[in-house]
Amino acid sequence: MANRLAFPRRMGRTARVAFTGVRIYARYRRTERRVRGRESDAAEATWLAAHQRSAEELYRLATRLRGLYVKVGQFAGTRSDIMPAPYVASLSRLQDRMPPRPVSQVRKTIQQEFRRPTGELFSRFDETPIATASLAQVHRAALRSGEEVVVKVQHPEVAGLVPLDIRNLQMMLGFVARRQPGFDYRAIAAEVSRQVPLELDFVREAEMTARVATNLAACPGVVVPRIIAGFVTRRVLVLEYLEGERLLAPEHLDVQRAQGAELAERITSAYARQILVDGLFQADPHPGNILVLPGGRIALLDFGLTKELPAATRLGFARLVAGAANRDIALIQSAWEELGVRSRDERPAARLELLHLLFGARDGAAPVRATLSRNPVDAVPSDLVLLGRVIGLLRGVCASLGSPLTPMEMLRPVAERVISEQPRSGGGVAADAHPRSTIARGDLHEDPAHA
């Protein structure tokens, strides 16, 4: 059973979040008064200083409270399109290796889950973790049979803290947003509140891993680690060990770039299959979740955040990919309507601008705000928002590998095949049994592509 913090510690945690939110709000109010009447360069420097101090406060809050706050900080630290540069600089440091938890704590969780000590389950259990993240820690081990495995163990307090931390995060961001509309990042809290509970259920993660592995079995050069039967609980997950190099690791980057086009094609093809054919995809393809194996094969890791698409969304996205890659305005318009995107200006040029906002390269938060001020978005499917984030992460991977093609261009052949295989009918894509989830304008705020 997940550990639950005592009431005084829970109140202390809430008070720390509330105090941080109030202090950041007060700082921005003072900054607003200070910049009135100043030259633009002086005003910009004043805002920059406020951003830097506030970003450092959030970094200290995350490193002190850990858990969900590290997860949120990691997410925000990758969103250079919606976050001011000082926040990206400070919060991206949370991507670095987290301090490991004591191995005694890890062993205790394993024994609680399996009712047997690690010495009976494994012939070897390495005390030094190979990875420590915001929600779990991973150790290498060997089964009694001698098979090499990795053991993913959830931090003991995380499950009990997530509901409290989500409420605290929503409180802090809501307080600032209601008083400073220009700093409205409640969409980040909304996205995290949907994602993190899924990532805490390792039984679900094992099921998703097995399903994606079956689906990708036909993709040459793509590997998904095998789940070890009998070694799965809600807080512990054991998988086969794969020997490989982290994608884009600095010490391997030159070698990987030498085969960059091939690696980018292989990674993108795996996601084309997951998204457009199977409608079930690993939704967090950052480089830490991809290994390069001997022979140029790639391994996809960590299926805690795996999304299942309704058929209508999958097929609508295929049409959107084909329309965007072929610059087919009519097809883009049709796909936009199928997917349920609604904006104030529905002329083709305005919709193309929103399409670029969701799936194109972006140069910071200012263009996002400018686009949305010209054409406010009333609703966008939450599935499409997540797909936009996945495409953005893939774009970064492909660019770092030196690929000459964008992910949307590489997805096009699969999208066109999926469209051609659909029976033609006058009514478009058949309605799906899954209800379409949308993010209303009140949840979107400034950036619909990263709610």
Q: Which of 375, 369, 376 is nearest to 349 (CA)?
A: 375
Of 41, 96, 165, 284, which residue is the catalytic one?
284
Q: Which residues of 362-396 are buried (b: 16+ CB within 10 A; e: fewer)?
A: beebeebeebbeebebebbbbbbbbbbbbbbbbbb
**In contact, 237 and 205? CB cutoff 8 Å:** yes
Tell me the mean pLDDT in the region 366-381. 59
pLDDT, position 344 = 72
What 3-state class would DSSP assign to 245?
Answer: strand
Q: Is 34 buried (19+), middle (13-18) or exposed (0-12) by CB count in 10 A? A: middle
Complete DSSP assignment for 159-207: HHHHHHHHHHHHHHHHHHHHH-GGG--HHHHHHHHHHHHHHT-HHHHHH
Q: Which is more confident, 35 or 431?
A: 35
Beta bridge partner(s), residue 139: 151
Tell me the mean pLDDT in the region 194-217. 94
Measured between alpha carbons, how far is 270 from 272 in angstroms, rounded to an integer? 5
126 is catalytic: no
pTM: 0.79
Top mean-pLDDT range of 267-271, 325-329, 403-407? 267-271
Mean pLDDT is lowest, of 132-146, 390-404, 407-421, for 390-404
Mean pLDDT is lowest, of 19-23, 89-93, 95-99, 317-321, for 95-99
How many helical (H) and strand (E) elements, i.e. helices and strands, does the chain have?
Answer: 18, 15
**In contact, 307 and 279? CB cutoff 8 Å:** no
Residue type, 267: I
Q: What are phi and psi of 21, to 5 degrees?
A: -60, -45
Measured between alpha carbons, how far is 438 from 373 in angstroms, rounded to an integer? 20
**In contact, 419 and 278? CB cutoff 8 Å:** no
Q: Is 139 buried (19+), middle (13-18) or exposed (0-12) by CB count in 10 A? A: buried
Residue 80 makes CB contacts below 8 A (sequence gap 6+) with 88, 362, 364, 365
What the block records as the tokens of 300 is 């996809």
How many residues in the chain?
A: 451
Tell me the mean pLDDT in the region 386-402. 84
Which residue in this structure is represented by tokens 């951003």? Answer: 51
Report the DSSP pairing between strands 245-246 and 290-292: antiparallel
Residue type, 361: A
pLDDT, position 180 = 67
Mutual orientation of helices 311-326 and 382-400 as an angle, nearest 10°?
Answer: 50
Mean pLDDT is lowest, of 9-13, 108-112, 221-225, for 9-13
Q: Which of 283, 241, 287 is nearest to 260 (CA)?
A: 287
- pLDDT(330) > 50: yes
Q: Which is more confident, 179 or 437?
A: 179
Q: How confident is the model at residue 230 (pLDDT cuts 50, 70, 90)?
A: very high
What 3-state class would DSSP assign to 429?
Answer: coil
Q: Which is more confident, 334 or 116?
A: 116
What 3-state class would DSSP assign to 66?
Answer: coil
Cβ neighbours, 10 Å, residue 279? 20
Q: How confident is the model at residue 367 (pLDDT cuts 50, 70, 90)?
A: low
- pLDDT(435) > 60: no
Complete DSSP assignment for 343-401: ES--SHHHHHHHHHHHHS----HHHHHHHHHHS-EEEEEHHHHHHHHHHHHHHHHHHHT
- pLDDT(190) > 80: no
Four-CA torsion 245, 247, 253, 255, nearest 10 degrees: 60
pLDDT digits (tens, 9 = 90+) for 74-130: 777 766 656 788 988 888 788 666 789 999 999 999 999 999 999 999 999 999 999
